Structure 1
Amino acid sequence: MKPYHINKKQILIMGCLGMFPLFSSAQDILSTSGTSRWDYSNSRVEREPGRDALDITFSVFPLAGLGSQEVAYLFPVYVSADGRDSVRLEPVCVAGKRRYKVIKRRKALGNLKPGNPGSGEVRSAKVLESSGLTVKRSVPFERWMADGRLVVREVSYGCAECGTNESEDIAFQAGIPLFGEKDYAYSFIEPEKVMIKCYKDSFDCKVVFPVARHDLQEDFAGNAQELDRLKKFLSENLNIQGTSLKEVHIKGYASPEGSFDYNRSLAQRRTQTLSDYISRQYPALKNAPVYRTEGIGEDWEGLKSMVSGSTLVNRDEILFIIGHNERDTEREEAIRALDDGRSYRLLLEEFYPGLRRTTFGLSFDVRPYTVEELPEIFETKPECLSQHEMYQLAGLYASRGMSPLPVYERAYGQFPDDAVAILNYANALLKYGQDADGALRVLEPVTNDSRAFFPMAVAYNMKGDWRKAEELIKKAGMAQGKQKLSGEPGDGGNNQQIEM
């Protein structure tokens, strides 16, 4: 069993989005402007794992002294990259030494009108120089916040209480890791190699025999055309590249009117007639290690299937009769008794002829194909390819600049219950078809497989459901962490080829 590998890019994404705190600090991203008189370097933005919230910390220290008579207002606002969205933090008011005393006295005397500078909460510039100030706010996280920035507008007033200066500065630029298109990675898992494959095919030959006879008349009732169809089926299968015939099974069926024993005997004779005829045309059939002819007789199962898919008025009654009577004679008598025999006559005319047939079943062993042979076999007989060979062909298509989506789709159709076929087709739908809905439908049977978490995250993100995408990224990261701790391989134990 091959070891299970996860893309390094996927590990980084899963770690950043699911396993560690997500933050951006001013010190790491943006140095304070040389012209600013405030230091914002201890400001930061954090998005903790497990919480769908953004924590904004606005920290300010004076870099240059504030005039003794000056009042400065700082208005911090967290703004989106396009400027359309914003979150306001509590404004900060700082006053110089003399102005701070004046404001305190006027507040005490009650003669500082609302709206005048210093009418709200005021901090002393002297205190701020020693301890600084921090303003915090926690808000529900939105996608636009990932690359937002903290903008600080400053308005300062001199002794005349008129606006003397107004400026704007960027305290810091956030860079919160967020799962997006740049992070999409597609894992195509290499299936196990199969050295010997088995290919089977069958053909229902509806050659018509005269009533109660078993001699073949080629010019009777369209038999020539039906025999040509049989020969075409045999020629195509006996000439498939890389195959060896292992078994021929010829089965004869009859419609269920008349005696059961007689019908089985007649079916056996007719089957033998066709076997003799066709083996003279194709002697290679007799060289198969297993060559069998069998007269099945009355085909009640075939009738049941045909009636089930019909619009017969008495459909349910006929199906009940077939299912609840064990003896063939009892079934036939009960059907004849329905509605004065009208249903029986309809079956006799429209359903029974299709039951009189001879089925030719062929089984082959198929050798592994070379890479050079794969394109032709895929075009002519894809049923003969193993899942691993289709994986190889998909890689060949990709290397030639061709979309391998049809190859992965065929593998999925041929192996619909195989987890690797499901995962590979889903990844191909995402990478080459940008079909998020289709990928999610395909992945429905394997949603508990940890290998499905990442492609599901990509699909949901394509659909705009980034919250669901992040949940799945975290889930994928935790699953990978558990596998590392336990020393166990991932589900399926297969290699992965990563395509970005």
Structure 2
Amino acid sequence: MKKILIYSVLCLIAALPVSAQKFYKDAINITNASLWQQGESLYINMQMDMRNLKVSNDRTLTLTPVLTGPDNNVVLPEIVINGRRRQKAYLRAMALDKATTMEIPYKTQEVLNYTQVIPYEPWMENAYLNLEENLCGCGGHQEVLAQEMIMNGVSTETKRLAALQPVPSYIQPKAEVVKARSEQYEAHLNFPVGKSVILPDFMSNQTELRNIREMFNKVQNDKKLTITGVYIEGFASPEGPLKLNEQLSKSRAEALKKYLSVHEQIPANLYNVSFGGENWEGLVKALEASNMKEKTEFLNIIRNTSDIARRKEEIKRVDGGAPYRTMLKELYPALRKVNCRIDYTIANFKVDEGKEIIKTQPQYLSLNEMYLVANSYPKGGDDFIKVFDIAVRMYPDDEVANLNAAAVALSKKDLPDARKYLDKSNKQTAEYANNNGIYYLLSGNKDQAIVEFTKAARNGNEAARYNLEEIEKVIKK
């Protein structure tokens, strides 16, 4: 094979690095050894310090690096070190043989930088680098062979990318000056025919009224909450005259207001009463969810007949009226309802208060308050992560909550959750692009990751700039 250099033994003065490996009877020291895959090439590098090496005058030491795998190996260019007389003979031979493939001895130096680039093959991923040592010479000297490992494990691009710890982006939610919330209950109160007075013991009214009062008590008894309004809206089922149904929906809503005014200590000026009239919207939803075979025909009539009186008559005539009677019995009662909503505001909390409240009443914290609580803990720690997980549970449709939850999932390398949250985030933000880049990187799509990081970096995202720099270190030698 080609001998890349011939090295005459000399005295060296360089200090030996502490981490050096010793070879050939501890006379050769190798440092900075690396096996680095880049694209279709494998770069082999090491520094060889031979200051303590001595070769007898008539002998030659040949050092041959060999890249070895389970079933393959590559013999690399060897290093030849001649003793003094052997070197003179070699030089004379070189002068006479102009066609020799051996190189002229390079200038003596204290550290030899050995560098080779060879085509990379998949089997090399787990290969190791050995050094074969061969001492031979004239005068009856016998050949001496030895083999020592320099290093194992090739640094592949795939391994280096997998080892990266990309930095996700978080967005601080906007602070809510007033934290306005509401509680709502859909009450199905029962009234005697043609009546609008609430009778607590009539049919299921007792249960419905108890549920409404429990909602009121929950809000009124919590000192963190301040009621700002009570909204009552009545509905009637769409059978009978339209004007009568509109009047019934209004008077029944007024009846609930009167009941609450007596039983709840809420100022009269906070009540707002409205009526929805006939509950056609509720009937459409009920039909869509039902198993009635005529539901498509009913829905077509409702959607395509604008005249209410005519619509009712057409519904009654479907299949001789039997399906309509079924609807009266099974679907219409639930349409006679009163919606009751309480609007309230929640007090604002400092971080220390928020850290306690989030344990038992996380719904009372705004997204911004949760963000501040999370960032009071070490970034990436269990408490930090837990707060963002709570935030997205409390605000499942909020784009910022989902973006931050995606960042947490990416930090845990939970790709399914990360994708789910990213898909509900605002895709126009630089933070989304950076986190989407991390998703692609962890999925093994380096090229698309670079596209996303570049997009985010152009929009000023510092985490994306860092992530790009880290990838550059991996993919460039």
Give the TM-score of the pair, scaled to structure 2: 0.72
Q: Does 1:226 align with 2:208?
A: yes
Whole-angstrom distance in 1 between the partners of 2:124 and 2:218: 58
* Shift in CA distance, 477/427, structure 1 to aligned 2, threshold 3 Å: closer
* 1:123 aligned residue: 102
Partner amino acid, structure 2, of 1:56: I
* Shift in CA distance, 76/53, structure 1 to aligned 2, threshold 3 Å: same
Q: Does 1:438 align with 2:420?
A: no
Q: Does 1:342 align with 2:331?
A: no
CA contact (8 A) 1:214 1:270 kept: yes
The CA deviation string for residues 375-428 of structure 1, in whole angstroms up to 9 with x for no partner, is: 6654665443210122234456779x9645554233224444544312322233
**How many percent of aligned residue pairs carry the same amino acid?**
23
Partner amino acid, structure 2, of 1:158: G
* 1:136 aligned residue: 117
* 1:12 aligned residue: none
The CA deviation string for residues 223-269 of structure 1, in whole angstroms up to 9 with x for no partner, is: 12221111111111233333332222211101111111111111111
Length, aligned pairs only: 432
* Shift in CA distance, 250/455, structure 1 to aligned 2, threshold 3 Å: same
Q: Does 1:263 align with 2:245?
A: yes
SS at match of 1:428: helix
RCO comparison, higher one (Cα < 8 Å, 6+): 1
Matches within 5 A, 1:315-394: 315-374=295-354, 377-378=357-358, 381-394=361-374
CA contact (8 A) 2:437 2:452 kept: no
The CA deviation string for residues 101-159 of structure 1, in whole angstroms up to 9 with x for no partner, is: 889999x9xxxxxxxxxxxx9636x53556988532242699968xx875422223334
* Shift in CA distance, 386/276, structure 1 to aligned 2, threshold 3 Å: same
Partner amino acid, structure 2, of 1:276: K
Partner amino acid, structure 2, of 1:211: V
* 1:178 aligned residue: 160
* Shift in CA distance, 237/57, structure 1 to aligned 2, threshold 3 Å: same
The CA deviation string for residues 145-202 of structure 1, in whole angstroms up to 9 with x for no partner, is: 8xx8754222233346963232436389988993556846565543332221110221
* 1:90 aligned residue: 76
Query: What displacement does 1:272 show?
Result: 1.2
Whole-angstrom distance in 2 between the partners of 1:337 and 1:300: 18
CA contact (8 A) 1:62 1:128 kept: no
SS at match of 1:311: coil
* Shift in CA distance, 44/272, structure 1 to aligned 2, threshold 3 Å: closer
* Shift in CA distance, 404/354, structure 1 to aligned 2, threshold 3 Å: farther
246-255 vs 443-452, which deviates more?
A: 443-452
CA contact (8 A) 1:77 1:86 kept: no
CA contact (8 A) 1:70 1:99 kept: no
* 1:55 aligned residue: 43
CA contact (8 A) 2:305 2:311 kept: yes
* Shift in CA distance, 225/43, structure 1 to aligned 2, threshold 3 Å: closer
Whole-angstrom distance in 2 between the partners of 1:220 and 1:186: 59
Partner amino acid, structure 2, of 1:242: K
Aligned with residue 291 of structure 2, among 286, 294, 311 = 311
* 1:13 aligned residue: none
* 2:273 aligned residue: 293
Query: What displacement does 1:313 show?
Result: 1.5
Whole-angstrom distance in 2 between the partners of 1:243 and 1:227: 22
* Shift in CA distance, 175/169, structure 1 to aligned 2, threshold 3 Å: same
SS at match of 1:76: strand
60-69 vs 440-449, which deviates more?
A: 60-69
268-277 vs 322-331, which deviates more?
A: 322-331
Q: Does 1:192 align with 2:184?
A: no
CA contact (8 A) 1:150 1:170 kept: yes
Unmatched 5+ residue regions in structure 2? Answer: 1-15, 464-477
The CA deviation string for residues 315-367 of structure 1, in whole angstroms up to 9 with x for no partner, is: 22222222111122232222222222232122111111111001112222333
Query: What displacement does 1:480 show?
Result: 6.6
CA contact (8 A) 2:440 2:448 kept: no
Q: Does 1:468 align with 2:448?
A: no
Q: Does 1:241 align with 2:219?
A: no
Aligned with residue 427 of structure 1, among 407, 416, 429 = 407
Partner amino acid, structure 2, of 1:209: F
Unmatched 5+ residue regions in structure 1? Answer: 1-26, 109-120, 492-500
* Shift in CA distance, 256/398, structure 1 to aligned 2, threshold 3 Å: farther
330-339 vs 355-364, which deviates more?
A: 330-339
The CA deviation string for residues 27-83 of structure 1, in whole angstroms up to 9 with x for no partner, is: 9996574867778779866666xx57543357879876866765654432457xxx8
165-174 vs 389-398, which deviates more?
A: 165-174
* Shift in CA distance, 419/152, structure 1 to aligned 2, threshold 3 Å: farther
Aligned with residue 168 of structure 1, among 125, 131, 148 = 148
The CA deviation string for residues 440-498 of structure 1, in whole angstroms up to 9 with x for no partner, is: 3212345674434665676677x7x5x436963x5576457545xxxx5679xxxxxxx
CA contact (8 A) 1:457 1:468 kept: no
CA contact (8 A) 2:36 2:154 kept: no
Query: What displacement does 1:285 show?
Result: 4.5
Partner amino acid, structure 2, of 1:315: K
Partner amino acid, structure 2, of 1:55: Y
Whole-angstrom distance in 1 between the partners of 2:163 and 2:153: 21
RMSD: 4.6
250-259 vs 421-430, which deviates more?
A: 421-430
